[in-house]
Structure 1
Amino acid sequence: MSDLLKLTIREVLALYADRKLSPLEYWLAVEDRIAAFESHVQALYLYDPESARAQASASTERWARGATLGVLDGIPVTIKELIATKGQPVPLGTAAVELVPAAEDAPAAARLREDGAVIFAKTTCPDYGMLSSGLSSFHPLSRNPWDLSQNPGGSSAGASAAAAASFGPLHIGTDIGGSIRLPAGWTGLFGLKPSQGRIPVDPYYVGRCAGPMTRTVEDSAIAMATLTRPDWRDATSLPPNDFNWLDLNMDVKGLRIGLMMEAGIGLGVDPEVYDAVTAAARRFEKAGAIVMPVQPVLTRDMLDGLDNFWRARFWGDIEKMPEERRKLILPYIYQWAEGGTYISGAEAVRGFNQTIEMRKACAKLFSEVDAVISPTNPIVSYPAEWASPTNDPSRPFEHIGFTVPWNMSEQPAASINCGFARSGMPIGLQIVGPRFGDLFVLQLSRAFEQWSGGIHAWPEPGAAS
């Protein structure tokens, strides 16, 4: 049964079609893996194996009748807790929120359900999705399957832990400053933050995207056909796709690729990360791409302005909350948010305006290059119990220098594994494309995956403690 866990979505679907495997049989293999590994990684929220068995059984009947609902029919999927699912609470990762059932599915959940995916759990996140960590005041501490003493990153912490632990092939996260790519980098996954509006989200706010987290590029590409169907609830939602998400072949010869090895601010790049990313750049050069060093797009004024805007916005969200509930927020997050009380309206607006400066800087860079590659994360890993790589609420965003600009510029960006540190922890390569170039990013990522061979040996229960 454990061999089934190594299969890609394409391979699973082919077995379904040939009547060599049923969705129920495949789900039971995933269920066994969860039973063996979940108590260690603590990735899941509202895990419901009984419902999953019923969904998988219904899918098995549909496959037998030749009446499948969509391309993901019978594929086990998790959804990040911040993405609403009808009838289930959305605690936003914090003990401060009252548990009120959601009135309807958010767009990503609705699309997956329409296509017959087996939604078996939500995945954990930190308070309000405001940390690159598996630490939460509501959920148990999520851990990195590669080494349980280390952090899976966040805020899509449970999604990354579940995917790396082989709890099925597809996991949906969200990203406003790196929350898909950062944990993907720290857990060896492929994680895609698409162009703004490519995958509709609700609620929408500046920079927020949903995206797939998978073990292979193709698995994410398959999911994009489902996830990208438009939804009126997201006013940034893009028109229906007029291209084939599985058109992944690309010749990189002649492409101008910028190599960004400094973020401009924040944590410096670990030597092992530097070596792995520069080695990845040489692979692009060997394939005929023109790789050129480029300067950072982010400045201290930009990051501090964004920090001010986010603090003010978040404090505005919670200031009317009863004090006894506010005190339940993770202290790290609450201490950070309290800084918003000292930020004037004018300062908050000036902070927001720095997102425009990020957009301009990114646009200028992409007038000179076709793509950008960089580290995803500046450091290899950090302790599971820490709230962030600095563990300092006065310096909360020192690790997002490579990732956050592309949220504000609305450009697609992905993280893909490019090697391992001596500690055995994965290292992520970020690949960034022009606005609306989501398929282009997938193509570049698939090319690199083919050159590198990808990851074939994922963590096993009992081997990561």
Structure 2
Amino acid sequence: MTDLASLSAQALTQGYRSGELSPVEVLSACLERIDRFEPMVNAFVFVDREGALKAARASERRWRRGDQKGPADGVPATIKDNIAWSGFPNRQGSLLTAKTPAAFDAPAVARLKEAGCVLLGKTTMPEFGWKGVGDSPLTGITRNPWDLSRTSGGSSAGAAVAALLGMGVLHLGTDGAGSIRIPASFCGVVGFKPSYGRVPSYPLSAMGGLAHVGPIARSVSDVATMLSVISQPDHRDPTAWNLAPPDYEEVSNQELSGLRIGCSIDLGFADHLDPEIVSAVKHAAAELARLGASVDEIDLALEDPRDILATLWEAGAALLLRNYARGDWSRCDPGMARAAERGREISGACVIEALTRKRVELSASLSHIFESYDLLITPQMPTVALPAGMDTPPRGFAGVDEWGEDWTRWSPFTYPFNITQLPAVSVPCGHSSEGLPIGLQIVGPMRADELVLRAARAFEAAMPPAVLDIAGAGLGA
């Protein structure tokens, strides 16, 4: 019997076209998954069963009439809870935010609706997306299905978990310092941070040009399908390209022959790498070479740009909490409140320096790489998923005596590409001896999104990710 909740967007729409599948039946399968797994993993802020059923029935009628809206019509999707969806609150993982329903759809949500997607609900995130793990004062801990004692990663926590478990097919996330790629890596799914401006956003994030909107899904093909939908123009965002995108599902389906790929294990500054992850990434590099690419392991000399991130991130945190009474800050995640306190002390001159001179210098260093190589590959994360409920790993985790209090210390491969706004994807490349997923990061120069997806898709076809053994993971038979 076909497992409807595990089918790709392309397989679903083929089934809708032939009449063998129904959007209503597929919705039912996804809701059954939610009913089964949600009590254990906590991936949703809410599920809109009534609205989803109405959308699925409308899609079913369109397919029967032959006037479907396109390659995502009737495909179940979820929305991260910092993205406006008309008629529903935008809580952002915080007890401070209002329960008032949003009055409009953010651009990506509007495009999903226009494409006929069936919106299931909103997915969990840490408070205001401030950190890379999956817990918040509003919803508690979102757990990793591979091991319920581990974090899902964040901040697009529920999106990655929902993708892995078939609780929807297409999942909308955001990435300001790794928030799509971290949970994708920890959960063993695909997460893509497009070039900044490829996907319109409104309102613009308090984190400014660090924050990208992008897709999470089980496969590169589904990510590409979703990217084509959400990249359509929306003139509310003056920083967006607002150009019609290509069909990413089609253009990404090409061979790698002739591509030049540089492989950096540490970017020149990352430390505390788990040897199993280094081994997996080197094996992935060899596989890309076998597929026809020219792959060189390269020594980079980048300086850690964490000070740039901290300036912009903490100033953004202060901006997020500016409209709340200081007495209410005690209801925040303590780390979020501390970041906002530090942000209050950052001068406008420091923010401008980070946005201009420092960002340009880092961009120039990375652009030099792309004079010699078409793509760059790195580990996505230096460790596997952390214990749940912690901002940083405990002492001794992955053999490191002390990790410190800064969560970005354990995510050195993510934020450089938010600062420089380059396209980057996390694609599964193996598992640790504990059975936890390992991610490979593929990075391209600005606006080379289809090239990044092309490499990810070829790699995925050659090394398909492992399928979660639900019973073995403790999620029940």
TM-score, reference length from structure 1: 0.94
Corresponding residue number in structure 2 for 1:127: 127
Match of 2:398 in 1: none
State the alpha-carbon separation in 1 of the partners of residues 319 and 81 from structure 2.
Answer: 22
Alignment partner of 2:461 out of 442, 450, 457: 450
Q: How far 1:233 sits from its partner (Å)?
A: 1.4
The answer to whether the Cα contact below 8 Å between 2:225 and 2:247 also exists between their aligned partners in 1 is no
Q: CA–CA distance in 1 between the matches of 2:130 and 2:14?
A: 39
Query: Residue 51 of structure 1: CA displacement?
Result: 2.0
- The aligned counterpart of 1:276 is 280
Within 5 A, what are the aligned runs for 1:48-447?
A: 48-204=48-204, 205-238=208-241, 239-242=243-246, 245-296=249-300, 298-300=302-304, 302-352=305-355, 353-389=357-393, 394-447=405-458
Following superposition, the deviation at residue 440 of structure 1 comes to 0.9
Matched residues, number? 463
Change (3 A) 1:313 1:53: closer
**CA deviation map 1:211-238 (0-9, x unaligned):** 1111111111112221110110111222
Counterpart residue number, 2:474:
464
User: CA shift at 1:144, angstroms?
Assistant: 0.6
Displacement of 1:132 after TM fit? 0.6
Report the 3-state secondary structure (helix = DSSP H, G, I; strand = E; otherwise coil) of the residue aligned with 1:281.
helix
2:227–2:248 contact (8 Å) kept in structure 1: no
Q: Is the 8 A contact 1:134 1:387 kept in 2?
A: no
Cα distance in 1 for residues equivalent to 2:2 and 2:41:
18
CA contact (8 A) 2:428 2:439 kept: yes
Cα deviation per residue 1:319-373 (whole Å; 9 max; x = unaligned)?
A: 4421232221101221232222333333333333422222121111111211001
Whichever residue aligns with residue 84 of structure 1, its letter is A
Name the residue aligned to 2:16: 16
Residue 245 of structure 1: how far off its partner (Å) = 3.6
**8 Å Cα contact 1:374-1:430 kept in structure 2:** yes
User: What's the CA shift for 1:390?
Assistant: 6.8
Separation in 1, partners of 2:183, 2:311: 24
Task: Kindly state the Cα deviation for residue 16 of structure 1 after the two structures are TM-superposed.
Answer: 0.9
Distance 2:2 2:469 in 1: 12
Distance 1:382 1:408, change over 3 A: same
| Cα distance in 2, alignment partners of residues 133 and 149 from structure 1 | 13
Amino acid at match of 1:410: Q
Identify the residue that residue 39 of structure 2 maps to in structure 1. 39
Shift of 1:420: 0.4
Report if aligned partners of 1:52, 1:120 keep a CA contact under 8 Å in 2: yes
Q: Are the counterparts in 2 of residues 256 and 369 from structure 1 also a CA contact under 8 Å?
A: yes
State the one-letter code of the partner of 2:122. K
Give me the whole-angstrom Cα distance separating, in 1, the residues matched to 2:183 and 2:301.
22
Q: Deviations over 1:365-396 (max 9, x none)?
A: 11121100111111112111112447978423
Q: Which shows bigger deviation, 93-102 or 116-125?
A: 93-102
Q: How far is the alpha carbon of 1:429 from its aligned partner?
A: 0.3
Give secondary structure in 2 for the equivalent of 1:121. Answer: strand
CA spacing shift, 1:35–1:287, aligned 2, 3 Å = same
Q: Shift of residue 154 of structure 1?
A: 0.6
Query: C-alpha distance in 2, partners of 1:15/1:46?
Result: 28
Letter in 2 for 1:261: I
Distance in 2 separating the partners of 1:8 and 1:45: 24
Cα deviations by residue, 1:170-211 (Å, 9 ceiling, x for unpaired): 111111111111110111111111111111111232122111
Cα shift at 1:297: 6.2
Matched position secondary structure for 2:140: coil
C-alpha change, 1:171 and 1:243, in structure 2 (3 Å) is closer
Q: Structure 2 length normalisation: TM-score?
A: 0.92
Distance in 2, matches of 1:168 and 1:4, equals 10
Deviation, structure 1 residue 317:
3.4
Q: How many Å separate the matches in 1 of 2:267 and 2:203?
A: 29
The percent of aligned pairs where both chains have the same amino acid is: 38
Distance change >3 Å, CA 150–CA 127, structure 1 → 2: same
Counterpart-to-counterpart distance in 2, 1:228 and 1:3: 30
Segments of structure 2 that go 5 or more residues without pairing to the other structure are: 396-402
